[in-house]
């Protein structure tokens, strides 16, 4: 049986915080021999401070400006897997940029799973409130249509083993028509 050909192009992961974008992204990058990036980690590397600190000092709007700039820079690279921040899809220019430069994968999970995965994470500034479940529910209502709008593939990450999820994702990616293959000399 021949080995599955590695899908070409960039893969961009979108979804709410706690959906598994960083974990799945790293595993997918290893499996496809691509370079992994996390937009929040890139923002932290560029600014020298945590995302939560940027939210505290500059506010969400300025953080979103930084995020848009980082996504634009990273999306232009070739053969990458990018885990975006949960709110990256809020801005139409981010959705357009992702759609124009790669295959977008929406990692979807239940509110219960998202809450369990993020409950004790102090680096989630939007959830440092009295009712994190209510916040996740409202974020889901707001963002789910945007994730779906930009997604080429939707994957449910609820109670899934990462390696099985990535194997399933590889099958789905291989079945898609080639999108945004790197061109020579571009």
Please report, in range form, the residues annotated as the binding site for Mg(2+): 22
- HSE at residue 57, side-chain half, CA atoms within 13 A, is 7
Known binding-site residues for ATP equal 18-23, 124, 160
Q: Can you read off the two tokens belonging to residue 104? A: 């977008």
Known binding-site residues equal 18-23, 40, 64, 86, 124, 143, 160
Q: 151 and 95 in contact (C-beta within 8 Å)?
A: no
Known binding-site residues for substrate equal 40, 64, 86, 143
Residue 161's alpha-carbon distances to 11, 23, 95, in angstroms, are 20, 11, 28
> 86, 74, 150: which is closest to 121 by C-alpha?
86
Q: 15 and 108 in contact (C-beta within 8 Å)?
A: yes
- DSSP H helices, 51-91, are 51-75
Q: 67 and 43 in contact (C-beta within 8 Å)?
A: yes
CA 92 to chain centre: 15
């Amino acid at each position: 049986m021949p080995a599955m050909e590695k899908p070409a192009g960039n893969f961009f992961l979108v979804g709410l915080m706690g959906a598994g974008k960083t974990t799945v992204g790293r595993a997918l990058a290893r499996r496809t021999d691509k370079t992994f990036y996390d937009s929040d980690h890139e923002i932290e590397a560029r600014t020298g401070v945590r995302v939560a600190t940027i939210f505290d000092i500059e506010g969400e709007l300025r953080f979103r400006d930084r995020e848009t700039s980082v996504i634009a820079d990273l999306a232009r690279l070739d053969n990458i897997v990018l885990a975006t921040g949960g709110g990256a899809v809020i801005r139409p220019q981010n959705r357009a940029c992702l759609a124009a430069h790669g295959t977008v994968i929406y990692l979807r999970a239940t509110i219960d799973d998202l809450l369990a995965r993020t409950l004790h994470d102090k680096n989630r500034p939007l959830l440092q409130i009295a009712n994190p479940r209510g916040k996740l529910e409202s974020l889901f209502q707001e963002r789910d249509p945007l994730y779906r709008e930009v997604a080429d593939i939707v994957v449910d990450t609820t109670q899934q083993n990462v390696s099985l999820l990535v194997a399933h994702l590889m099958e789905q990616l291989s079945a898609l028509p080639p999108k945004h293959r790197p061109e020579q000399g571009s």
